[in-house]
Structure 1
Amino acid sequence: MKLTIKNSVVGSIVVVGALALAACSPANENDSTETATEATTTTATSTTSTTTATDAAADAPLTLTDGFVRATVEGTPMTAIFGTLTNTTDEEISLTGFEASVDAAAYEIHEVVDGVMREKEGGLTIAAGDTHELAPGQDHLMLMGLEAPVEAGDTVDITLILGDGTEIELDPVPVRTIAAGDESYGEDGELMGNTGMDSMDHSAQ
């Protein structure tokens, strides 16, 4: 009787040991390794995609750093894009236009001359390796005749168009509110309060 019990215990131990051995077998190790490898590969692929997009933007002949779109003010269907343009090449570059992912009647490059804001004929020319600031009261990109408000917290996709026809898609540009004194437009489009003057004509002529 004791022998029978001992044999049963030994048999149980053998069965449990066999199951444990099976769980640790190379086949199961391979399954676990394959799962971990798949997860790692997925993460690596996602990271690579993000890095590739960022690298592509950084390698463009013309880049925009610290860029932002000013949130629109109620009743004013226009706004501007600011930031620093950098010519990353060893040749002069001309920025002749741009497009954006918001519906607008016109996308224009503007300048301020003698207190008057107007469309800049011929666009912007940036020397090799040089930068060009887009700022309130200075050169900037203008969105005019907006069909809907552009609100803080949103992002806008912008494509720069160069004189040779090259199109550069920028990373999404954030929309944010800036102080009223920095940039404020009147009902007719005149600029108010960003150069110490009460108002400035915003006509294209």
Structure 2
Amino acid sequence: MISRRSAVSGVLALSLLPFALAACGSAGSTTVSASPVAEQPTATSTLKTDTAPAAALTVTDPWVKAADKGMTAAFGTLVNNSDKDLTIVSATSSAAPKVELHEMADQDGKMVMRQKEGGFVIPARGSHRLEPGGDHLMLMGVTDKVQPGDEVPFTLTFADGGTMTFTAVVKAFAGANEEYSGDDKGDDKAKDDMKGDEKPAGHEG
């Protein structure tokens, strides 16, 4: 015969059974609800071929000869930090409507400046100096004064079409008065406008 106390105990045990099963299920398994993870962008580096030469070239000590008008020139050292030769074929500047790559050459026993055939070639891991009496960037048709302390921007174009920019400071300089053997009619007089009052420190005429 089942006592009243035993019956009550049994009913109580049965009533607690669902909770026990739920607790058991919770202990035996864990369900994690996660929100979708946003896709992270992949970092990529695209090096365009037309910018590669620019990254390899630096211009040290760039400067421009002060002038009132006509012609003037830019100098400095082109340094090639890459393992292949670089060739500069042209240049532009907002300070002049035309910029040419020039060299000094003997013409009829007289040293004159003329356009550099083939451009400026900077050897791999080497340098190419632009200096008075040698290779230089020639600014043609200057109409506004280029005064000491001014900064003149330049864009160089490489043989493969790539470009690079740099800025040169203007300095007074008494040298670089060589004659030009070009065809521009106004250049004979323009060379007289290249005369300055003094030489910048560290440069020879």
Same fold (TM over 0.5): yes
- Say if 2:74 is the partner of 1:81: yes
C-alpha RMSD of the superposition: 2.4
- What residue in structure 2 maps to residue 142 of structure 1? 138
In structure 2, what is the equivalent of residue 111 of structure 1?
103
Tell me which of 57, 64, 68 is aligned to 1:62. Answer: 57
Deviation of residue 101 (structure 1)? Answer: 2.3
TM-score, normalised to structure 2, is: 0.58
Deviation at 1:130, TM superposition (A): 0.7
Deviation readout 1:84-141 (Å, 9 max, x if unpaired): 1111110011000111121x23210000011121011221111101101100110000
Cα deviation for residue 146 of structure 1 reads 0.9
The one of 90, 98, 107 equivalent to 1:97 is: 90
- Flag the structure with higher helix content: 1
TM-score (normalizing by structure 1): 0.58
CA distance in 2, matches of 1:116, 1:184: 10
Cα 1:185–1:138 shift into 2, 3 Å: closer
Aligned to 1:71: 66
For 2:58, give the aligned amino acid.
T
The CA distance in 2 between the partners of 1:138 and 1:190, in whole Å, is: 16
Gaps spanning 5+ residues in structure 2: where?
A: 1-53, 180-187, 196-205
Percentage of pairs with the same residue: 41
1:153 and 2:149 matched: yes
The residue identity in structure 2 corresponding to 1:160 is L
Secondary structure at the residue paired with 1:188?
A: helix
Query: Does residue 175 of the first structure (1) align with residue 170 of the second (2)?
Result: yes
How many residues were matched structurally?
130
Deviations, residues 173-201 of structure 1 (Å, cap 9, x unaligned): 111112x2x223675345899xxxxxxxx
**1:69, 1:132 → 2: CA distance?**
17
Between the two structures, name the one with larger relative contact order (CA 8 Å, sep ≥ 6): 2
In structure 1, runs of 5+ residues without a counterpart are 1-58, 194-205
Spell out structure 1 runs of 4+ moving beyond 6 A: none
